A = this chain, B = another copy of it.
Amino acid sequence: MNTPAYDALTATYTRLHRLGHLQSIAGWDQAANMPSKGNEARSSAMAEMAALLHRLRTDPALGDQIQRATQEPLNDEQRANLREIGRDWRRATALPEDLVQRQEMTTARCEHAWRSQRPANDWAGFLVNFRPVLALARERAALLAERSGLSRYDALMDHFEPGMTSARVDAVFGEVRQWLPGLIRAVRERQALNPALDPVGPFPLDRQRWLCEQVMRILGFDFEAGRLDVSTHPFCGGVPEDVRMTTRFSLDGFLGSLMGTVHETGHGRYEQNLPREWLGQPMAEARSMALHESQSLSFEMQIGGHPGFAALMSPLLVQAFGPQPAFEPDNLHRLITRVKPGLIRVDADEVTYPAHIILRYEIERPLIEGEIEAEDIPALWDTKMMELLGLDTRGNFQDGPLQDVHWPAGLLGYFPCYSLGAMYAAQWFSTIRRQVPDLDGRIAAGDLAPALDWLKANIWTQASRWTTDELAQRASGEVLNPAHFRAHLERRYLGV
């Protein structure tokens, strides 16, 4: 078929993909390897690249090519790719290059300083760098809102979760707010009757690393196409052909790094299984961040919280650290599913987790809309932590608003994706349970293949072939339905 405009677009996106590869690897390196004095130069380099990519993506010729390509004889997949190209182009052209570059510099500086400000509990120092990050995020939000007709916060969220609005999030989170406190209380009372035994450390770091690599293998991570390293804030970066996962270790406990690694492996396998034949094109990218989190949470919560997973882990723990009563499968499962309100989001169990997200969403939305200022964060944080989880956080910034990389990195509008992802994950497993006879028996017997195969076929290899709503519909017969999440929690934690 003769499709010159479409072909020109795919050539541009292949170039963007290749240059973006270097940006991803350098970004991973910045978090996992880079010594401190390298940061100014790295930040300048990353900003230069961001500006360059932005310039390529906003080339006026593209708008014209997109117009002409819609008239060309494209097949369905090409049309889907063109839809994604158009989406990318509309977002990119809303932002001037200069803003993109300033944002790169400013967030890199803020994130780098945050790495030492967090352990120092230095909120005042953080504010100095965070104010310009916020100012630029608002500037960005205003431009994107103007272009899209969305509200400012929605315009930012749309980047991570296309099609999602704060109206929809408000409805979903509003409903969760109604039943969550009661559920947490009920689960806590129930678990108090059958407490879990704590494992006794220390847990040598090299044995923890071995354990993490074993579990990644069990979950199907391809080590010829990726690595596991260490960074302050665990993440999954790199490129689909070379996925760079990170974790962090603590001598006192292995469960945080183990379950964190299970979480990131969900992201990693999604990336490793994006459709190769389309790689480089927007259609081959992960659908959205809620979908991405639905994979990490399918791994961490749906699989990791299953009794069968504890049974799989138990002998590995004995091999890694020697035998102890806490490693018995039943106890291990109780440990993994133990519900306990805590200060740290990434350490939270799946029942209290939505509280952390609702809190952040209720702060960052008005922050972007200009209803509150950066100075207001600590007081709001303290109030909402008391309200949602009954915890006192006054003066404890490092375990409060300084705990996450998202705000220093300028990633405002991202947080809702975690809980939306948990809801999608519950929806996927409710579907798998319908389709696979005796799914729970198979997982209990250590057979993860049916679940992983379903995710690969229905989510990973589908990439951005469909919109999120279409994808959910095709995979599970309905769009996002948070009822599955509540049912999952009640079933697992209250035996309902």
Enumerate chain A interface residues (CB-CB to B < 8 A): 15, 18-19, 21-23, 25-26, 29, 33-38, 40-42, 44-49, 52, 222-227, 239-242, 279
Contact = CB atoms under 8 A, between A and B. Distances in A.
Given A18-B44, A22-B22, A42-B241, 4 more contacts: A19-B45, A21-B42, A37-B224, A37-B241
Contacts of A37: 222, 224-225, 241-242
Given A25-B26, A29-B25, A223 B35 contact: yes
A49 B35 contact: no
A244 to B, nearest CB: 8
Q: How many copies does the complex hold?
A: 2
A73 B239 CA distance: 48
A28 to B, nearest CB: 8
24 contacts: A15-B48, A18-B44, A18-B45, A18-B48, A19-B49, A19-B52, A21-B26, A21-B42, A21-B45, A22-B26, A22-B45, A22-B49, A25-B25, A33-B227, A34-B242, A35-B224, A35-B225, A35-B227, A35-B242, A36-B224, A37-B241, A38-B242, A41-B240, A42-B241
A234 B33 CA distance: 18
Contacts of A18: 41, 44-45, 47-49
B48 A241 contact: no
Contacts of A224: 35-37
B34 A19 contact: no
A81 B455 CA distance: 57
A223 B33 CA distance: 12
A242 B41 contact: yes
A19 B22 CA distance: 10
A249 B26 CA distance: 26
A478 to B, nearest CB: 36
A13 to B, nearest CB: 12
A378 B240 CA distance: 40
A228 to B, nearest CB: 11
A433 to B, nearest CB: 33
A18 B222 CA distance: 33
Nearest to A242: B38
8 closest Cβ contacts across the A-B interface? A38-B242, A21-B45, A18-B48, A37-B225, A41-B241, A18-B45, A37-B224, A22-B22
Contacts of A34: 242
A42 B52 CA distance: 19
A44 to B, nearest CB: 5
A38 B222 contact: no
A22 B35 CA distance: 15
Of A19, A46, A242, which is in contact with the most chain B CB atoms at under 10 Å from its CB? A242
B239 A35 contact: no
A19 B56 CA distance: 15
A38 B223 contact: no
A52 B33 CA distance: 26
A167 to B, nearest CB: 40
A25 to B, nearest CB: 5
A418 to B, nearest CB: 28
A33 B242 CA distance: 10
